[in-house]
Amino acid sequence: MSFSLAIVGRPNVGKSTLFNRLVGRRLALVDDQPGVTRDLREGEARLVDLRFTVIDTAGLEEATDESLQGRMRKLTERAVDMADICLFMIDARVGILPADEIFAEILRKRAKHVILAANKAEGKAGEGGLLEAYALGLGEPLRLSAEHGEGMHELYDALLPLSKEFDERAASEAPATDIELSEEEAALGEDFEEGDEAGFSRDFTLDKPLQIAVVGRPNAGKSTLINKLLGEERLLTGPEAGITRDSISVTMTWNDVPVRVFDTAGMRKKAKVQEKLEKLSVSDGLRAVKFAEVVVVLLDVSIPFEQQDLRIADLAEREGRAVVIAVNKWDEETDKSNKAKALREEFTRLLPQLRGAQLVTVSALTGKNLDKLQEAILNAHAVWNRRVSTAKLNNWLGAMTTAHPPPAPGGRRIKLRYMTQVKARPPQFVVMCSHPEELNDSYKRYLINGLREDFDMPGTPIRLFFRSQGDKNPFKNKTKSMPSRLRKHLGKDRADAPKVQKQRPPKR
């Protein structure tokens, strides 16, 4: 990326809509309600031949205290300070408001380069606001319509001369990491090829870091945890529940391991999610779970393993992600030893489908046990990539069936003939057998638990499929008849033989 562009302005002027148009995807949540965006979201923007980093910011408000609006403003001002260019957007249909004049003065003092844009200027409704924009003293305003894509060429003309100033710096520095994944990069579940090493785990690079999604109920401390990992107040936090709305991805190097961490919105019970905006936030979080490799389910130590926590953990398992359970706010717990024992017993009882997954107690506020959390994440990722050779699997299958033979419905013993691993991430196995439709669930669980214990795959989702090889008897379902060659030969002999008329018996 040659430069960074921060989109700033009052709430509901169309900043997120323009952000989505520049990145070419609907990454940021968009709604008619003001103040939807609260955190800083970065993305790779493309405009003709320009490639740059675009930053979507929260709406600038006049609050400067420690309220939610005041904290949002501080994050936006931080984006102004670190961005190379600021695109100041106003609403052409509303015109210039006193808040616009205040923020124009702030940008004039703090921003390196400012481009003024009058959004929603399509048609005659925006003519008045476009003319009023000259009074801000930031130069000639660009006439834009982020919703309909108008004015993109004018924006390109304004950015082109400024981008040349940053070309030399971009050549000397290492290229920035892409913030969002393409669908091809995010595709998980690689095909397993015989001969691959067991326990394979890919190398993490800046271009393809380890992808982690932090999920949980509202106010569990997800954003605080990620800020602690970053070492800076990058994400908006506070005592209010439900602050995070977008699924924000942050790239960092965590103890020499490149990682991309997705901060997601708190997920409440489905019956309580009524507003359209919260539904969008939850669906954005579910999308982050699907793109992640490891899902960290963050619990509150004061109310762990509530029904919604169990649903979130089960969702991650059904999506086939590696799962780590992290219990936050451990610094507030007084009886730590007894509480830790109770948590592990409750985890084993309530989440049997994640049997063996690691449970780590952490404090996002103090940073306690974050090194143990990283170790658990790396171990979960290695197990998620585990691969087993076909020879070992079939020797194991023979021992398992000898120790506990398959059921025999109707007096017919089901035969498990052959087993192989077809995919990893998560491990997926196929067993060729007779009458797979009659194999009960208890025997399937017996085999899955055996795979976990004997091949060291605790906690990771295991997919086990049973298929029939089919009956290879070529004469099955065929009437008994002589071979075609013999039938053909006999046919010729019968044609050459003289025809003999049958004599009827005499009548009496």
| Binding site per annotation, positions for GTP | 9-16, 56-60, 119-122, 216-223, 263-267, 328-331
CA-CA distances (angstroms) from residue 282 to 57, 272, 279?
Answer: 20, 12, 5
Going by C-alpha positions, the residue among 9, 49, 82, 84 that lies closest to residue 157 is: 49
3-class SS of residue 81: helix
Q: Which residues contact 446 (CB under 8 A, 6 or more apart)?
A: 400, 404
DSSP 209-249: PEEEEEEESTTSSHHHHHHHHHTS--S---SSTT---S-EE
Alpha helices in 254-306 (DSSP H): 276-291
Q: Residues forming the annotated binding site?
A: 9-16, 56-60, 119-122, 216-223, 263-267, 328-331
3-class SS of residue 99: helix
Q: Look up residue 277 and give its two tokens.
A: 């905006």
DSSP 353-375: GGTT--EEE-BTTTTBTHHHHHH
In DSSP terms, which residues pair with 5 in a beta bridge? Answer: 54, 85
Dihedral of CA 349/352/358/359: which sign? negative
Beta strands 257-263 and 210-216, pairing class: parallel
Angle subtended at Cα 291 by Cα 287 and Cα 292, rounded to the nearest 5 degrees:
115
Rounded Cα distance, 230 and 223, in Å: 11
If you count DSSP H runs as helices and E runs as strands, how many of each does the chain have, helices first? 15, 15
CA-CA distances (angstroms) from residue 474 to 111, 305, 418, 471?
Answer: 80, 56, 22, 8
Residues 323 and 317: beta-carbon distance below 8 Å = yes
* Rg of the chain (C-alpha set): 32
DSSP 434-474: S-GGG--HHHHHHHHHHHHHHTT--SS--EEEEEE-----T
Rounded Cα distance, 66 and 418, in Å: 64
